[in-house]
Chain A
Amino acid sequence: MHPAFSIILFTTLSGLGYGLAVVLGLGFLDPSLLSTKLAYLASLALIGIGLLSSLLHLGNPQRAWRALSQWRSSWLSREGVMAIATFVPLTLNATLVIFTDRYDAILGLIGVLGALVTVYCTSMIYASLRTVGSWHTRLTPLCFILISLAGGLLLAGAFAGGNALMVELLALAVILLALIAKMVWRNRATTLVPVSTPESATGLGFIGKVRLFERPHALDNYLTREMGFRVARKHAAKLWVVAFFFGAILPILTLLIAMAAGSGPTAQLVLVAGVVAHFLGVFVERWLFFAEAKHAVMNYY
């Protein structure tokens, strides 16, 4: 599948933002600190920028509001509805913390639920597609949610600057869980036997082996550009190592260093580096998520 830059940026940024919103909604950080207030703003900004960037790949973005109408059947519509609905508790939470230093548990938990459901809806857009075998599994929402939480915990740790050992320990655990889930996901994806073949796509398997003789047109078309992307597949093994190292190993190392350094600017700086590394790693992971995915229509090409 063609990895549209705006979609990768959207799932990475909003995933991180929702992960942070979950940590904040659970009240792990002290609402009276300036760093916590900044974390609330950062969470809203990440989600907002992510959602805006998701509009960029649309052919007619001025009609995007229509996407809120079909929540009965469409995961994309559900995602839009949930994203907007979740903004209400998240903004109220942020206002409460920023202006009154007060954390409200009920409002916080509503925000947590909204954030998790939104990330789940995003992942189900992909997981619900039977045409892309590597996405069509329950492991896809699991990976999206765990990666979002891992990023959120790491970012919350960076904002707290080593003053939240609980958050740092949870970050370590969830990064490891996300890594395991992603490894299982990728192992399944790379060993997957495709359900559809050129033989089933043409119905000519009863005669023999089917091979494309001539394309419909000499050059590319929308389908081959959108579903037949190949560039990153060539470097998939290298990029997977990059995602593995930046997304999980470096953040774990920075967490350990930060915990050893205790609280203070050193810990904060190290954790910020960890967040940057994690963001890069997840970005590459998302790139591969799209670029490595094989679509059933390519049985015709």
Chain B
Amino acid sequence: MTSLPQNRTAKRLGLVIDLDVCVGCHACVISCKEWNTGGYGNALSDQDPYGGDVSGTFLNRIHSFEVVPEGGQIIGEAGDARVVHFPKSCLHCEDAPCVTVCPTGASYKRAEDGIVLVDEDKCIGCGLCAWACAYGAREMDLAAGVMKKCTLCVDRIYNETLKQEDRVPSCVRTCPVNARHFGDLGDPNSDVSIMVAERGGFDLMPEQETRPTNKYLPPRPRTCLSDSAPIIPLAENTEGARGFFAWLDKTLDRI
């Protein structure tokens, strides 16, 4: 049934992604592909993997953006241009247009936790859900001919055969800098909700009116590079000198 669930619980499982700490290492991309190619549904295929025109299906991708403030082209003038690494996977939207456009009922949103999934046995591979998604969260697997998307590792988070610390999405478990957090965004007292409230977490493209569950935390303000540059070059700083060298430094200064 591809109408959105009428009786949703308050539970909204999702991710919080911290743009301040992501270093763009792509470890989550690889661990996502590794887990999900052998997990839920069809494998995530690659086309021409060792050839000149490599491409493949990924559920999580890292983009890197350059952000330049007005007049910020010159270092120290109006804040510095900076690079922000930007992980992007399905946002498990509350008003998911990818679900309602599906003609077969393959695409659905779970009433109990809000996860958006594809029943691959029903998917005809028409691609309309990928057209309806503004975030590029859905990619057609060219080998299987069905739509693939982030499952929020539904086969990990409820998996009682895994240790408690492993019952989080693969990308969250693998992130070396803790830029990705998993939790219930419908519960205002959950760690992720508190983090979003404290850091001013935001939605991507709110104007698309999809009400995403996943939130992004903004990069923290930075001190200007020119502010942190010492007036005396570091190599000429003699503050810590003692004994013979301190005497030499003073004597030479006097000459």
List chain A positions with a Cβ less than 8 A from chain B: 1, 57-61, 63-64, 66-70, 72-77, 80, 125, 128-132, 195-196, 198, 200-204, 206-217, 219-223, 226-227, 295-297, 299-301
Contacts and interface: CB of A to CB of B under 8 A. Distances in A.
B162 to A, nearest CB: 28
Contacts of B224: none
Interchain residue pairs A-B with the least CB separation, the first 5: A59-B125, A59-B145, A208-B69, A216-B61, A77-B103
A216 B58 contact: yes
Interface stretch (B76-84, B151-159, B234-242): B76-84
B94 to A, nearest CB: 15
A234 to B, nearest CB: 21
B211 interface: no
Contacts of A1: 131
Contacts of B145: 58-60
Contacts of B57: 222
A74 B102 CA distance: 6
Task: Kindly state the interface size class of chain B when it binds its partner.
Answer: 35 or more
A203 B218 contact: yes
Contacts, number: 205
A29 B3 CA distance: 43
A74 to B, nearest CB: 5
Contacts of B194: none
Interface in B233-253: none
Interface stretch (B8-16, B169-177, B197-205): B197-205
A70 B208 contact: no
A76 B97 CA distance: 13
B204 A203 contact: yes
B64 A213 contact: yes
Contacts of A297: 133-136
A66 B105 contact: yes
Nearest to A212: B65
Contacts of A59: 123-127, 140-142, 144-147
A222 B59 CA distance: 11
B209 interface: yes
A301 B136 CA distance: 10
Contact of A60 (B97, B125, B209): B125
